[in-house]
Structure 1
């Protein structure tokens, strides 16, 4: 039994990103098409009446699920790279996740990392940072994240800054990976180390909010439900630099993922 079993809980529904009434920004269109090439998300252009220029629509079975300005995708995907997150140049407060990306939940992706692709894996990086942002803003609950190797926390300045910040909140933070580094007591996190496939090959970031009035509920006020989860990302490195992954807001699936990780890792 491994984390791979949870991929069976996610459907392979196909969605489309429609760039409506594009007025320019050819490189943005190209990067979007490259990012979602060979994914269950099709990128197309349309001239649509009653839609503002340079608007991106997320469509499934003819229904518009979300819209975002094309400029928002430019800021989130085109004008950044994963180095900005690793170095800390792009912090938690800097991320504004476009609605059309957020609503790509429960879609199974196969994404390549550098050097196979410069942009595909960035989607998983952005969602990971979004979940960390949710945890930080909620201020209560439990946050779990795996890094394959625990040393990645200290080796990536931006990652260390994020988890240093989370450790200073009332959130119960748990980190997972192979034991090539042990966080100091100054970093107030619970460390889980091992050598099984789940430790070596998985990438998960998961936040579950604390019920109101529970022992871990130490925030002064409740956050809006959309800001406090539950939410999870799960990815498995199927081969070197190739990740199968999805993210979900399904409370039942997040709860089952959380229970499995707590029990098995």
Structure 2
């Protein structure tokens, strides 16, 4: 199965009805407008009038799936993670790998397909994929076992982005079997203990995936599978989805191993 077919399967098999509800003590704020704009063209709706959400505290964000609350996070954590920052905290190394955990209302947007634009087309949208990628890398780092497969379109991006280099230095210092993919404009292997896969075209130049495939006997919250796959459908415009379902993550890892 090609990566584009894999994406369609992930997007169709896991699609559910999810929405974010903001519960505030003092009514709406400009941050609520930022959250609405972030999800404006997505299948996830954002509501600030959350009178239909019962049994939750004030000043939280609530993820509702099929009319049931599946995750809650303090609004402050959501603001720190994505609303009050930009992608520079990941690329420049301002945010350490150990601090890359995301609020559960974001991680639990798993299996929802997104269409996201990068800067300058949009200021925040692509940040969702960047933040989720680092979250999966953090999971692999904490597990310190299994395989991590990550694509960069150009391998030199690892070297160009201080934060990315620091993250992969940490990963390559451990026992995770790290594989990186992209066009061959830089060789990471002299500096990092990784396996580099270089090429052009489908899978190398137009894909963005981060896949953590743990051993079959791994048990625990930090050793569960996780995978993100995004495809560039036009310059700087991505279709993306992430999942924590073991079967689809294994399938995605196998597709990467066979094709690239």
TM-score normalized by the length of structure 1? 0.92
Partner of 1:146: 151
Q: Deviations over 1:7-39 (max 9, x none)?
A: 222233231100113425713211110110110
1:74 aligns with one of 73, 76, 79: 79
2 CA distance for matches of 1:96 and 1:30?
A: 24
Q: CA deviation at 1:256?
A: 0.8
Contact 2:91–2:162, Cα closer than 8 Å, also in 1: yes
Alignment of 1:198-217 (within 5 A): 198-212=203-217
1 CA distance for matches of 2:101 and 2:198?
A: 32
Q: CA deviation at 1:128?
A: 0.2
Q: Deviations over 1:149-172 (max 9, x none)?
A: 000000001000100110000000
2 CA distance for matches of 1:89 and 1:70?
A: 22
Partner of 2:47: 44
Q: Which runs of 5+ in 1 are unaligned?
A: 213-221
Partner of 1:8: 8
Partner of 1:248: 243
Q: CA deviation at 1:53?
A: 1.2
1 CA distance for matches of 2:233 and 2:40?
A: 18
Secondary structure, aligned partner of 1:152: helix
TM-score normalized by the length of structure 2? 0.94
Q: CA deviation at 1:62?
A: 0.8
Q: Which runs of 5+ in 2 are unaligned?
A: none
Contact 2:189–2:195, Cα closer than 8 Å, also in 1: no
Aligned pairs, number: 255
Q: CA deviation at 1:67?
A: 0.8
Moved over 4 A (4+): none
Contact 2:189–2:196, Cα closer than 8 Å, also in 1: no
1:118 aligns with one of 102, 123, 129: 123
Q: Deviations over 1:213-254 (max 9, x none)?
A: xxxxxxxxx6x5221121000000111111100000111111
Contact 1:178–1:195, Cα closer than 8 Å, also in 2: yes
Partner of 1:216: none
RMSD over aligned Cα atoms: 1.5
Contact 1:111–1:242, Cα closer than 8 Å, also in 2: yes
2 CA distance for matches of 1:52 and 1:244?
A: 34
1:197 aligns with one of 195, 202, 212: 202
